[in-house]
Structure 1
Amino acid sequence: MFKKGVMFVALALLCAGVAAQKRQVMLDKVVAVVGGSAILYSEVDEYARMLTQQRRQEGYTSDRDPHNEALEALMTQKLLYNQAQIDSVKVNDGAILSAVEDQLQRLIAQEGSLALLEAKQHMPVFSIREIMRQRYEEQEYASEMQRTVVDKVSIVPGEVERFYKSLSRDSLPTVAEQYVYAQITKFPKSMTEAKQRTRERLLDMRERAITGNAKFENLARMYSQDPGTMMRGGEMQPSRLVELDPSFGAALEKLRPGQISEVVESQFGFHIIQLIDKQGEYYHFRYILLRPIYTVEEQTSSLRTLDSLVGLIRSDSITFERAAMEHSDDKGSKMNGGVVSNSDIMSYYNATNPKLTVTKFLREDFGRFKSLDDYNALMKLKPGEMSDAFLTEDMLGNQMAKVVKLLEIIPTHRASLEEDYLRLEEMALEAKQERVFRDWLSKKIDAMYVYIDPEFRDGEFDNKHWVK
Structure 2
Amino acid sequence: MKKSLFIICLIASANILFAQTKKVVADKIIATVGDKIILKSEIDNSISDMQRQNIDVPANGKCLLLEQALGLKALVLQAEIDSIPVSDEDVDADIDNKIRYFINQYGSKEIVEQIAGKSLFQLKEDFRQTFKEQKLAQGERDKIVADVRITPQEVEAYYDSIPKDSLHFYESQLEVGEIVIYPKPSRDLENYAIDQLKEYKKEVEDGSKKFETLASLYTDDPGSKDNGGRYEINRNEKTWDPIFLAKAFSLKDGQISNVFKTKFGYHIIQMVSRNGDDAVIRHILKIPQISSIEVNQAKQQLDSVRSKLVAGTIDFGQAVSKYSEDENSKFTGGRIPARDQSTYLTIDELDKDLVLMLKDLKVGQYSQPTEFTDDRGKKAVRIVNILTKTEPHRENLKDDYDKVARRALEEKKNDVLEKWFAKKIPSFYVKISDDYKSCPEMQKWETNSTATSK
Match of 2:31 in 1: 32
The amino acid across from 1:322 in the alignment is K
* 2:31 alignment partner, SS class: strand
Match status 1:461 vs 2:441 = yes
Equivalent residues in 2 for 1:19-418, closer than 5 Å? 21-22=24-25, 25=26, 30-36=29-35, 38-51=37-50, 54=53, 57=54, 62=58, 65-76=60-71, 91=88, 135-150=126-141, 159=150, 161=152, 164-169=155-160, 170=162, 176-181=171-176, 187-188=182-183, 190-208=185-203, 219-229=214-224, 233-240=229-236, 244-245=240-241, 247-248=243-244, 251-252=246-247, 255-258=250-253, 260-273=256-269, 277=274, 279=276, 284=279, 286=281, 288=283, 290=285, 292-294=287-289, 298-299=291-292, 302=295, 306=299, 320-322=306-308, 335-336=318-319, 344-345=327-328, 361-363=344-346, 366-367=349-350, 371-382=351-362, 390-402=370-382, 404=384, 406=386, 409-412=389-392
* 1:377 alignment partner, SS class: helix
* 1:33 alignment partner, SS class: strand
* 2:139 alignment partner, SS class: helix
Residues 96-126 of structure 1: CA deviation (Å, up to 9, x unaligned)? 6997899799799659x97xx7xxx9xxx57
Displacement of 1:188 after TM fit? Answer: 4.8
**Mean Cα displacement is larger for which, 235-244 or 372-381?**
235-244
The amino acid across from 1:198 in the alignment is A
Displacement of 1:362 after TM fit? Answer: 0.7
Displacement of 1:392 after TM fit? Answer: 1.2
What TM-score results when the alignment is normalised by the length of structure 2?
0.65
Identity value in percent:
21
CA RMSD of aligned residues (A): 5.7
What TM-score results when the alignment is normalised by the length of structure 1?
0.63
Displacement of 1:198 after TM fit? Answer: 3.0
Match of 1:328 in 2: none
Change (3 A) 1:271 1:160: farther
- Tell me, in whole angstroms, the C-alpha distance in 1 between the residues paired with 2:86 and 2:181: 48
Q: Is the Cα contact below 8 Å between 1:187 and 1:401 reproduced in 2?
A: yes
Displacement of 1:65 after TM fit? Answer: 0.9
Displacement of 1:378 after TM fit? Answer: 1.4
Q: Is the Cα contact below 8 Å between 1:366 and 1:374 reproduced in 2?
A: no
| Residues matched between the structures, number | 425
The amino acid across from 2:307 in the alignment is E
- Tell me, in whole angstroms, the C-alpha distance in 2 between the residues paired with 1:101 and 1:182: 28
Change (3 A) 1:34 1:173: same
Match of 2:430 in 1: 450
Q: Is the Cα contact below 8 Å between 1:392 and 1:399 reproduced in 2?
A: yes
Change (3 A) 1:129 1:290: closer
Displacement of 1:288 after TM fit? Answer: 3.4
Aligned counterpart for 2:22 among listed residues 18, 25, 44: 18
Displacement of 1:457 after TM fit? Answer: 1.9
Change (3 A) 1:413 1:100: closer
- Tell me, in whole angstroms, the C-alpha distance in 2 between the residues paired with 1:355 and 1:155: 30
* 1:255 alignment partner, SS class: coil
Displacement of 1:196 after TM fit? Answer: 3.3
Unaligned 5+ segments in structure 2 are 1-5, 449-454
- Tell me, in whole angstroms, the C-alpha distance in 1 between the residues paired with 2:406 and 2:265: 33
- Tell me, in whole angstroms, the C-alpha distance in 2 between the residues paired with 1:211 and 1:197: 21
Q: Is the Cα contact below 8 Å between 2:259 and 2:267 reproduced in 1?
A: yes
- Tell me, in whole angstroms, the C-alpha distance in 2 between the residues paired with 1:101 and 1:356: 26
Change (3 A) 1:190 1:355: closer
Unaligned 5+ segments in structure 1 are 326-330
* 1:168 alignment partner, SS class: helix
